[in-house]
A and B are shown apart, each in its own frame.
Chain A
Amino acid sequence: MSEIELYLLEYDRNKDESLRIAAQTATRLESKDLKLVNLIEHLGEYLTNEDESLRAKTMFFLADVLSAIPAKTLSRQQRGLLCDFVLSRIAGDPESIEPSVHSLIGLESMGKWEDERAVEIFKTLLESTNPLKQFKLQKQRYSVLQLIDILMARYRNALRGAQSSDPDMIEKLVFYFDGEKDPRNLMIVFSVLLVPMTEWDIAAHAQDFFEAVFNYFPITFKPPPDDPYGITAQQLKDRLRSCIAATSFFAPYAFPALLDKLDSTSPNTKRDALQTISTCASGYSTRTISLYAVNLWDALKFEVLNVQEEDLAEQALEATSNVAAKLSGSQELHDYLKTVAKECNEHLEDAPTKQSQASGRIMQAIAKASPEASNFLMRAILPQIVSLFNAAGSLSKRRALLAVILQLLRSNVAVFGEWRTSDPEFLQRTINSNNALRDFSEQIQELLLDAVVYSPKEEVSYRILSVNSLTELVKLRSLLQDQQISKTLHALTTAILKEPSYENDDLRLAAEAGLLEVAHQKPQLVVNEAFPVFLAELPEDVRSEESSSLRILAAFAKLGSEEKIFETVVMRLRNRLTSAFQLPASGLYILALLNALLYTLIRGAYKELAIDVQNSYYNSMVIWLLEQVQKREDVLRSLAERAAIFNAIGRICRIIVLNQDDRVQQEIAGTIYNLQNQTEQDELSRHDSLLISTHLLAALKTDVPLPFAPSNLLQRLVSVMKSDSTIAEITTASLSQMTLIVNKHIPESELKPVLDEAGLTKTNAENFSDATVLDIRIEFSISKALLLRNSRLTPSKISHLLQRLPDPTHGPTIARGFSTLLAPDEFLTAENHCHISKLHQQKLFSLTVPAIATASRTTAASTSARQNYLLALAGLLHYLPYPILVPELPALVPLLLQSLDALDTPLKASAVKTLTEVLAHDPEALAEHANALASRLLRASREGVGSGVGPGARNEAEVRSAALACLAMVPRALRRETLVPMRTRVVRELTAALDDGKRGVRREAVRCRVAWIGLDDGDED
């Protein structure tokens, strides 16, 4: 049999086999074993067969052969002949359209066609396959569209040339795609049509072209659930929108039709229409837009003045702004803006109303369209605002006008930039436009200053608006003179320094933010003018916590977030600190100054400084602070105060040492050694040194060699804790040092010997009953350090601890300890170069939770032991990320429900929190427990009476409100049928919580009750 016969035989049976046969033919053609002429001749008899499907299959054979032939096999002449041949088939045999088109696509990929050839193919398609909908199968039309798409993309100029001499082409093309409904095909249709719309001369056929695409508006396509093509409605909308906005010739049809759609009741249609109007406003020519500007305004303003949905208003604002941007530079801009300004001014007269508020938004949107638009509106609106403001009888009217001023200023910044704007393109654009605001800036500034300084102090929001407006004014590039800016600076600093405390200090916070902004724009001005005022307010010493000086100190430290003035802020704080140390000032004040410094390092611009500048802080800050520490002899301060001061010094040093080079780090390791080995120190100094050295140790990189043996340090820390066990800070610091050493500075291979040598293990020892709470804490600290670095020793450590949980004496302590393993920690962090395994939470979970779940279920467990298990579990779950728990949920849920009855406050809250997460993510795990859950949560929402005896008897407010919040989630998380029978009871019992003594609890109770009442709304729908 010949290959074509084999192919026809296999075609319907085995696609792969038929493709293989075609490929074989292709190989023979390539090796000249078979001549092209012979192949075609051979096909002849099948192509004249009466059976149309046989003809189509034969053409598929040709297409498959062509797609399998390597590029260079056929000569240009052969390809030409084949093209002619296929084109004749297209004209004569519509049934074979799909393979014919495939053949052409195959031929095209072998070598670009000449322009005439492309035009010929295009025309043949238009003639012989018009309209496209004659082909019933989607894939047939899809193939043709693919070819047309290739022609439009690669032979654009040729086609454009051809259509200008052949008007027939356009006419045929317009109706060619009529009736297409398939989304995949439409994607191509829209992108094909976009070419003639933008590049051809279609003026005579504009309406037809417009209708050809607008028929599809609005797109309501919803992709089927498992759509293999992944076409979204949004993609279709986007392409359709570009078509509608393609040429100004569409305007006479597009705008009336789109404005008509704005009356639609469907927000989706309105949204589409608004977006399209917006795109058209940018796409059409200035002249065209000028014709429709006022019509558009009349329709669009409605959407903003009477907001239906917020995003529709936003969209309408964008459209009005695009119109202004398009008209900018033309005379027509003025007509448009005159209409806008007139209407807005009218609304402003009635302020404060819904429409005056909307006018502010409109003007802000339009004024940021261009410098011209901004200038026009400033001239048209500002004088009116000022005179309305001065004549206003009520503060609420003034407030509404101030809000508009702020909006106008913001739009002005968007157009003309800030002092700090450095984008050269932006600056080039505005370089020649004079800002019309300049004529009013002085007047506006005076008005705003008056509002801040002279209006009643309780008008907080009013004054905040003024402060924010003043700040915008300062920001504006090349607008105010330094002298004018100084006035604003003065008002802001006065507000920060002199304002009495009122309502959360909102005004002061706004003024602080304003000052920071000024510092960003004009750093030197702030240093020269504001700094002296601040420093004058900072005394040598402060003795009362109530002192406003502390507040001022805080405001000053916040200025350190601005990079340009950071170093000056730090220097001034350091000077204050020097004199405070010398005086000596109160511990309170020294601590406040240290905290201010710490704040600038953590929240300020320290990290933005150049590395060498950062490095210089080692000398100027760390060494300097350590020297100060050596010098001071003020032993009178309370223990707690000393601890706070030295911790603060330690924290400052830690941040600076963290990223110093190896030499400095090496030096610090020596410093740590010295601090801990100063024999002549008195007890207090030893404590101080211990605190500071903990922070220094935290800053050390792991590879810095230590000048002491880790096991010695561990032993010494144990003895320190034993002798000073009453001082909490010392215990905590010592334990932190232990975890740092174990986590960072002992190689895995040496861990066991070092720990054994230090003799720290008690839980697996015979004499466990002699162990103290301190021993247990040490155990947990070591375990934590090991767990985080994922040491091999972790599992045995944890299992020893677990085994001791039922212990009658130490069980409760150990149970509490489990919460420390995952608790966040100031020292054990990645920033401090610690080893933090990514899997440590997962690891701890699998080491503990299943074991606890099993153990607490065994009948052997006594009540107190079970209590310990629940306690340990709650502590663990508290810090575990929810996804880790999911696999164990079936075992956990009953335990969590038990915890609600058994535990005391913090852990009960923790159990409620976990249950809340279960409800949010895996409600089905709780489905069968709905009743038990609701009853227990209701019980937990009551303050005490009747909620049983034992540790859970009294519920703290935080438990009550967490329980109510959790219960409020139930109606949405669980199935309605399960809950309806409980509804009446829950709603009734919740009335008790409505009368709770705490407002926060009552708030949750109201939410919860409303959620449960809402349950029966379901059957109305």
Chain B
Amino acid sequence: MEEELKDNANPTILQLSDLPSRRRDEPSKKRDAARAMLFEDLVPSYPDPFSSGLPSPTSSEEDAKVYPSDDVEEIDEQEIYDLIAHVSDPEHPLTLGQLAVVNLPDISIQSSAAPSKSRITTARVLLTPTISHCSLATVIGLGVRVRLEQALPPRFRVDVRIKEGTHSTADAVNKQLGDKERVAAALENRNLMGVIGKMLEGCT
């Protein structure tokens, strides 16, 4: 049976709801006192186009949540986690987040030491294969890399590696993942890109 060909047929998995996520900030308590925050959606509120400008396409409530304020929200570890946690495993219909291949504490962002001008930033992701002889570690690493290169602005340098001590041939895999030319060559391979394309399908 095909199942027996898999490196790890019965991996440990995490519940979706337990994966780290950005919980919405506590809804602002300082909102319009007159509406007494209880049951905010109970009474419809319609903007008055004559005084306050014009109707907005989504209800103003929702906007307030999605765009809480004018502050700049920097790209952080959680955001990178959200970008790659939904990449699916080539063997299982499960995501790298569920399989704990990517973990929030293993993602780090380092801005370059030089002051603001260049804004070059490095995003490092350490992967934990489900078992130490996982033959697909390189493919998973490439998938993560491709995803991040598509989704992060150009000022980011992407560094994807296998976490130390979690894989028997970690050095070889890291060498492959870190070598630009080898990555580029691998991505010319249509079969490989097919597999990676499938892994990225679930990313939204």
Residues in chain A within 8 A of chain B (CB atoms): 302, 306-308, 350, 352-355, 357, 396, 399, 403, 460-461, 464, 501, 503-504, 545-546, 550, 553-554, 557, 588, 591-592, 595-596, 598-599, 602-603, 640-641, 643-644, 647-648, 651, 728, 732, 773, 776-777, 813, 816-817, 819-820, 823-826, 875, 878-879, 904-907, 909-910, 912-913, 956-958, 961-962, 991-992, 994-995, 997-1000, 1002, 1006-1007, 1009-1010, 1013, 1017, 1020
Contact = CB atoms under 8 A, between A and B. Distances in A.
Contact-size category for B: 35 or more
A691 to B, nearest CB: 13
A355 B151 contact: no
Contact of A504 (B23, B72, B152, B197): B23
Given A357-B13, A644-B34, A999-B73, A1006 B46 contact: no
B33 interface: yes
Interface in B63-83: 63, 66-67, 72-73, 75, 79, 83
Contact of B9 (A306, A550, A905, A991): A306
A994 B151 contact: yes
Contacts of A602: 42
Given A817-B50, A904-B53, A1002-B75, 6 more contacts: A353-B11, A817-B49, A823-B55, A875-B55, A910-B54, A998-B67
Nearest to B1: A302
19 contacts: A308-B93, A354-B11, A354-B94, A460-B17, A545-B36, A545-B37, A598-B39, A599-B38, A599-B39, A602-B42, A641-B33, A905-B53, A958-B57, A991-B153, A992-B153, A994-B152, A994-B153, A1002-B79, A1020-B190
A641 B54 contact: no
Contact of B35 (A557, A644, A957, A995): A644
Contacts of A596: 38-39
Nearest to A503: B23
Interface of B: 1, 3, 9-15, 17-18, 23-24, 26, 29-30, 33-39, 42-44, 46, 48-51, 53-58, 63, 66-67, 72-73, 75, 79, 83, 92-94, 150-155, 190, 194, 197, 200, 203-204
A819 B151 contact: no
B49 A875 contact: yes
A876 to B, nearest CB: 11
Contact of B93 (A307, A599, A1006, A1010): A307
Contacts of B204: 1007
B38 A399 contact: no
A475 to B, nearest CB: 22
A962 B57 contact: yes
B11 A820 contact: no
Nearest to A997: B72
A1000 B67 contact: yes
Nearest to A357: B13
B79 A999 contact: yes
Given A545-B37, A732-B48, A1006-B150, A906 B42 contact: no
A773 B50 contact: yes
Contact of B38 (A554, A819, A999): A554
Given A819-B54, A994-B153, A1010-B151, A396 B14 contact: yes
A478 B66 CA distance: 47
B46 A825 contact: yes
A47 B12 CA distance: 81
B54 A355 contact: no
B56 A354 contact: no
Given A461-B17, A644-B36, A906-B55, A1009 B50 contact: no
A503 B23 CA distance: 6
Nearest to B98: A354
The 6 closest A-B pairs by CB, nearest first: A995-B153, A906-B54, A644-B34, A997-B72, A994-B153, A1006-B151
A306 B3 contact: yes
A728 B51 contact: yes
